[in-house]
Amino acid sequence: MSRQPTPSVTIEELSREQLALVKPLYKQFYKSATPRRDDRLFIARNDHRAIIAAAKLRVIDGKYWLLSGVVVAPAFRQQGIASLLLSHVLQRVEERPCYCFCHPQLATLYIELGFETLDELPDSVLARFNTYRRSKRDLVALKFRC
């Protein structure tokens, strides 16, 4: 599939009070990634101010970030929006290590953004990884190189 030119998008972090704004996107395209009030939520909006993509950071054990819930509305996929959104998010993780669990076919995207594969995970991250793998069997654990 050929990649289309990246459209004009605006990236922003939502406040806790704005959480409801992103719920319809998750409900429609990624039901299992419902955001929680303690997540840091980031969105991409198109020229019409519609939310077309989202990602969240969740704290694990008070020490680590878990990047999860990355979703792009189908009409906007393959246009570089996920890369733009994730680049913005990853600029905000310096204070603690950041991990993500992705499907193998998406690993290249994350590696291009600065993630690397791992042989070991901290215990609390490993416990979360094992929980995710029970429902989504084929996952790769990656760590962001700050």
* Average confidence score pLDDT of the chain: 91
For the segment 106-146, what is each residue's pLDDT rounded down to a tens digit?
Answer: 999 999 999 999 989 999 999 999 998 888 778 999 999 87
| Confidence grade of residue 3 (pLDDT, cut at 50, 70, 90) | low
Give this prediction's pTM: 0.90
| Confidence grade of residue 100 (pLDDT, cut at 50, 70, 90) | very high
**Structural domains of the chain, with CATH:** 10-144 (3.40.630.30)
| Confidence grade of residue 2 (pLDDT, cut at 50, 70, 90) | very low
pLDDT at 4 over 60: no
pLDDT at 46 over 80: yes
Residue 116: C-alpha distances to residues 36, 56, 97, 141 (Å): 27, 19, 12, 9
pLDDT at 1 over 70: no
Q: Give residue for tokens 């990602």.
A: 55
Distance CA 56, CA 65 (A): 10
Distance CA 112, CA 34 (A): 26
Alpha helices in the chain (DSSP H): 19-29, 81-90, 107-112, 123-135
